Chain A
Amino acid sequence: VGAQEKEAGMYSEQGTGLQGQEERIRGDLALIDEFASEIAKAEGVLPSRLNADPEKLEQGLAKLVLAVVDLLRRLMEKQAIRRIEGGSLDDEEIERLGLAFMRMEEKLEEIKRAFGLEHEDLNLNMGPLGDLW
Chain B
Amino acid sequence: MNYTYWYAIIGWSSGAAPGSAPPAPPPAWGNGLLESSLRVVVEGELAAVVSDWLRPSIKRATDTVDPDLVWQHERVIERIMASAAVLPVRFGTILADDERVRGVLRQRQASMLADLRQVAGCVEMGLRVLWEPPAPGAPQAVAGMAKGASGAAASQTGGAEPTPGVRYLQQRAAEEQARRAVQEQGRALANQLCVALRGLTVDYRQSVLQTERMLLNGAYLVRRGEVDAFMAAIERLRARYGDLAFLCTGPWPPYHFVSA
Q: Which of B148-185 contact A (CB under 8 A)?
A: 148-151, 163-169, 172-173, 176
Is A115 engaged at the interface, CB distance under 8 Å to the other chain? no
**How extensive is the interface on chain B, given as a class?**
35 or more
**29 A–B pairs (Cβ distance < 8 Å), ordered by A:** A15-B251, A18-B79, A21-B71, A24-B250, A26-B247, A27-B247, A28-B245, A32-B247, A34-B213, A38-B211, A38-B213, A42-B217, A78-B176, A81-B169, A84-B144, A84-B148, A85-B148, A86-B144, A87-B147, A91-B151, A94-B166, A94-B169, A95-B151, A98-B164, A98-B167, A99-B164, A101-B169, A130-B207, A130-B209
CB-based closest 5 A-B pairs: A98-B165, A85-B144, A84-B148, A99-B165, A95-B165
B245 touches A34 (CB 8 A): yes
Q: Which of A2-56 contact B (CB under 8 A)?
A: 11, 14-19, 21, 24-29, 31-32, 34-35, 38-39, 41-42, 48-49
Residues of B whose CB lies within 8 Å of any CB of A are: 63, 71, 75, 78-79, 81-82, 123, 128, 130, 142-145, 147-151, 163-169, 172-173, 176, 207, 209-214, 217, 224, 227-228, 231, 234, 238, 245-252
CA distance A58 to B145 in the complex (A): 42
A85 touches B130 (CB 8 A): no
